[in-house]
A and B are shown apart, each in its own frame.
Chain A
Amino acid sequence: MQNDSIPSGPAGAPPPVIKVIGLGDAGVNIVAALSGAPPLKLLACNTDAAAIAQLAGVDKVAFGRKTTRGLSAGGDPERGRAAADEDAAKFKAACVGASLVFVIAGLGGGTGTGAAPAVARAARQSGALVLAFVAMPFEFEGAKRQRLALAGLEELKQEADAVVVVPNERMQHLLDSSASLEDTFRGTNALLADGVKAVARLLTTRGLINLDFASLAAAVRGRHAESVVATAEISGAHRAVAVVEKLLQHPMLDDGEVLKTADWLLVSVAGGPGFSFGDVNAVMRELNGHCGKGNLTMGAIADPALEGRLSITVIATERREAPAADVESEPPAAMGRPSARRASLSPVNIDTEFLKTPEPVRPRRGVRPPPPDLSPEQQQQILARHARPGARRRRHTDLQQQLPLEIVSKGRFEKSEPTIHHGEDLDVPTFIRRGMVLN
């Protein structure tokens, strides 16, 4: 793309080299979906050597062999970070000569969350602009992953020049229950991959009305910003109107609702050689009607490759006030539950856990208030009540609460009145409730 699409650039300038690094299972899947886009140099990286070995057609790197011994990071960002730090030189070498590096990852797991900031730093040190493209976990994946993802995002924003945050939750209505899971996820990966391609073109092509990295960074910047990238392409007679209509049908745009609520819109219109002022005018007039009062920045690109077609790319950013509220809307009792924690800490393929099976939904169903809430008298009462005949099934479940597995250390507060805040026992050490691993 970069060879033939810089018509107005200086003839002697070397074409920009764009490197795409996919991290973790989610990142690798998206990179795999990108393969076949020749101008992008793809690199798939994972700590899980077995998972990455199955991949064909892209350059791949299994990193952190010493830290993880070729296994996954097990949902622990610390291990992911350690793995990336171990092979920082590898990443730096991979980025040498690139002018723009995309770091693609799904946040909330181990490898993506932990390694993305480290890789972004390595890429930046090698002199490239770094654009991170990350997917936030689905809500059903649990509060812990959301929290890890938010923490990882904060860190990533320190390292990368710009971060495009795509909440997976937006894709929920794509998840048609009748379609096979594999197809749905291939679909969502393809959508993200399309987004990456569109952004790459936007940045590498010198436009008639130019949009550069700085305007992209301004659009996606913000502490709690979430972005959606949507793109549509069409040919035909009434393409200016049709392309907008097609864009509005894009699943990420939620029937155009996203455009209305977005705080910042970056619009890039691209056309073939016959691309006229009238086309741009028509597209923008049509699109403006669907937009809210957000800040709109537009660019126009003439791309000979788009013979007779019209393509439009929208990056819509919404600056939400407090994502923490969403996280906390989880039933808080589920947070400190060992059962819930166990499910998300399982060492196998944590990154694609949600891609394969909606397993983590299950533990929520059985959530009960933690046993320390009961005073000794109440416990006695319950036991006495269920000791009577005819209450066998209930007694069984109540006795389950007494299992020592459920009781976590409270140190010196063992005997004092528990401090319950929104269903969470604050006397239990924070690092235990948040699942920090001391290795």
Chain B
Amino acid sequence: MSDRNSIIVGLEIGTSKVCAVVGEVNDTGAVNIVGVGQSRSRGVRKGEIVDASQAEEDVRNAIVEAEKMADVEIRDVYLGVTGGHLRGLTNRGVHPVVSADREITEEDVQDVIKNAKAINLPTENSNIHAIRQHFTVDGQPGVISPAGMLGARLEVDVHVIHGNTNRLKNSIRVVKGLQLDVAEIVFNGLASSLALLNSEQKELGALVIDIGGGTTDYAVYVEGVIKHTGVLAVGGDHVTSDLGVGLKISLGRAEQLKIEHGSALPDGAGGRSIELPGDFGMPGRTINLEHLCRIMSLRMLEIFELIEQELHEVGLLDYLRGGVFVCGGGARIPHIEKLAERVFGVPASIGRTNSISGIKSALDQPEFAAAIGLVKFGSFQQKKQAGGRSILKSVANSIFGAFKS
């Protein structure tokens, strides 16, 4: 704790809650979660800040709580970002190997990555990540490290996540307004996948779906690399809103009913009803539980179907052999994994942050996956920057490839 570098903080400004997680990197490079702070979020809609002063206050509360719990002073954070404006796309870069002996040098590798990153973004957008996938040498795919190999034509795929610059800057400004530095911004879906998946699952191919309050973020790993990411600006708030509209109840009651009686599958709810007590001059009501569950089920089904459709279009649906992992507040919905299993046709489960040690109460909650993933991301970045002797560095590099900060 004495070394400032060994403390890594992940901050997620979510639609329903702001969450700060403090992690400590020990000598062996393992991350230990030592503090968690959270606060209800009031200035965010659909993952984007709409009320900066309110959001600033919420972030302050969460940071203060985390500082107290971990007994550290937080100076910089890894900030999670999301929102409907984020896009993931995969671009291919090509580079001819010009040297006489056709040996691929480290420079060739850097050049081809540079070519792949050079994509035409809309002027108002900027890159968040550019993640290297596998190389192709003379048409031979799946090359992991081409330096030293022989070939005439080197290609590489890079997955680029980009978003609207101003909107990204909005959340950075909120953090900077609290005299905190933003070490790096990270896509929430990517962070969640880091927290949940072990290397075996990444190798097998897995889909991580983070169902938050305002957005649903997802990331697909195939053969150890990120193949696709995406954001749907639809989340738990939509479920609440649907229930409010469908059952004609206030949003507060809808939220409460969602948490207490919600289910992702309408099975078994037939004919049952819930008595709502009357208060504040509102008369009591009887709510049909089946309607409640079916409204919820349709919304969750739609979210999964939209993701399934997207993955089908990019041709990744058949590679999810490791299964589907659900996290975020949406993972609290009973039977959500069964619904996911029906839609994707592969085993689905609630994601657990297994690969990190620390406070059990924090690790067991699917809501914290993104913030914990941010800490993990930070630990990888620090190892990279430290120029590291440890073997973990090479592992981290092979997993994430080149990140652009």
Interface residues of A (CB under 8 A from B): 223, 321-322, 324-325, 328, 409-413, 416-417, 419, 421, 426-427, 429-432, 434, 436, 438
For the complex formed, measure the closest distance between the CB of A275 and the CB atoms of chain B, giving whole angstroms.
44
Among the listed B241, B246, B309, which residue makes an inter-chain contact with A413, where contact means beta carbons less than 8 Å apart? B241
Among the listed B240, B291, B305, which residue makes an inter-chain contact with A438, where contact means beta carbons less than 8 Å apart? B291
What is the chain B residue whose CB lies nearest that of A325? Answer: B312
Number of A-B contacts (CB under 8 A): 78
Docked complex Cα distance between A430 and B296 (Å): 9
Q: Is the CB of B312 within 8 A of A322?
A: yes
Q: Is the CB of B294 within 8 A of A417?
A: no
Q: Is the CB of A436 within 8 A of B294?
A: yes
Q: Is the CB of B241 within 8 A of A430?
A: no
What is the chain A residue whose CB lies nearest that of B288? Answer: A438
Q: Is the CB of B238 within 8 A of A431?
A: no
Report if A429-B299 is in contact (Cβ < 8 Å); known contacts: A409-B245, A419-B233.
yes
Contacts of A322 in B (CB 8 A): 309, 312, 317
- Secondary structure at the A interface, as helix, strand, loop or mixed, is loop
Binary interface encoding of chain B residues 78-112 relative to chain A, with 1 for a CB under 8 A from any of its CBs, else 0: 00000010000000000000000000000000000
B159 within 8 A of partner (CB): no
Docked complex Cα distance between A413 and B48 (Å): 13
Docked complex Cα distance between A275 and B271 (Å): 59
The 5 closest A-B pairs by CB, nearest first: A411-B241, A429-B242, A419-B233, A430-B298, A430-B299
For the complex formed, measure the closest distance between the CB of A95 and the CB atoms of chain B, giving whole angstroms.
24
Contacts of B298 in A (CB 8 A): 430-431, 434, 436
Among the listed A324, A328, A426, A434, which residue makes an inter-chain contact with B238, where contact means beta carbons less than 8 Å apart? A426
Docked complex Cα distance between A434 and B294 (Å): 12
Docked complex Cα distance between A393 and B50 (Å): 40
Q: Is the CB of B306 within 8 A of A419?
A: no
What is the chain A residue whose CB lies nearest that of B251? Answer: A412
For the complex formed, measure the closest distance between the CB of A97 and the CB atoms of chain B, giving whole angstroms.
31
Docked complex Cα distance between A413 and B242 (Å): 10
Interface size class of B (residues with CB under 8 A): 20 to 34
B228 within 8 A of partner (CB): no
Contacts of A416 in B (CB 8 A): 45-46, 50
B308 within 8 A of partner (CB): yes
Among the listed A328, A412, A427, A438, which residue makes an inter-chain contact with B309, where contact means beta carbons less than 8 Å apart? A328
Q: Is the CB of A421 within 8 A of B306?
A: yes
Contacts of B251 in A (CB 8 A): 411-412
B197 within 8 A of partner (CB): no
B302 within 8 A of partner (CB): yes
What is the chain B residue whose CB lies nearest that of A419? Answer: B233
B401 within 8 A of partner (CB): no
New contact pairs (6) apart from A412-B240, A429-B242, A431-B295, CB-CB < 8 Å: A322-B309, A328-B309, A409-B245, A412-B237, A426-B302, A438-B246
Q: Is the CB of B245 within 8 A of A324?
A: no
For the complex formed, measure the closest distance between the CB of A168 and the CB atoms of chain B, giving whole angstroms.
23
Q: Is the CB of A417 within 8 A of B242?
A: no
Contacts of B46 in A (CB 8 A): 413, 416-417, 419
Query: Could you jot down 12 A-B contacts, CB within 8 Å?
Result: A411-B251, A413-B241, A421-B306, A426-B238, A427-B238, A427-B241, A429-B242, A429-B246, A429-B299, A430-B295, A431-B246, A438-B291
Docked complex Cα distance between A328 and B313 (Å): 12
Contacts of A419 in B (CB 8 A): 46, 84, 232-234
Q: Is the CB of A412 within 8 A of B50?
A: no
Contacts of A409 in B (CB 8 A): 245
B345 within 8 A of partner (CB): yes
Docked complex Cα distance between A434 and B242 (Å): 13
B29 within 8 A of partner (CB): no
Among the listed A426, A431, A438, which residue makes an inter-chain contact with B232, where contact means beta carbons less than 8 Å apart? A426
B residues 283-306 touching A (CB-CB < 8 Å): 288, 291, 294-295, 298-299, 301-302, 305-306
What is the chain A residue whose CB lies nearest that of B300? Answer: A430
Among the listed A223, A325, A411, which residue makes an inter-chain contact with B244, where contact means beta carbons less than 8 Å apart? A411
For the complex formed, measure the closest distance between the CB of B170 and the CB atoms of chain A, giving whole angstroms.
14
Contacts of B50 in A (CB 8 A): 416
For the complex formed, measure the closest distance between the CB of B161 and the CB atoms of chain A, giving whole angstroms.
18
Contacts of B244 in A (CB 8 A): 411-412
Docked complex Cα distance between A409 and B238 (Å): 12
For the complex formed, measure the closest distance between the CB of B244 and the CB atoms of chain A, giving whole angstroms.
5
For the complex formed, measure the closest distance between the CB of A58 and the CB atoms of chain B, giving whole angstroms.
33
For the complex formed, measure the closest distance between the CB of A336 and the CB atoms of chain B, giving whole angstroms.
12
What is the chain B residue whose CB lies nearest that of A426? Answer: B234
Binary interface encoding of chain B residues 139-183 relative to chain A, with 1 for a CB under 8 A from any of its CBs, else 0: 000000000000000000000000000000000000000000000
Docked complex Cα distance between A192 and B298 (Å): 33
Docked complex Cα distance between A417 and B46 (Å): 9
What is the chain B residue whose CB lies nearest that of A416? Answer: B45
Docked complex Cα distance between A223 and B317 (Å): 15
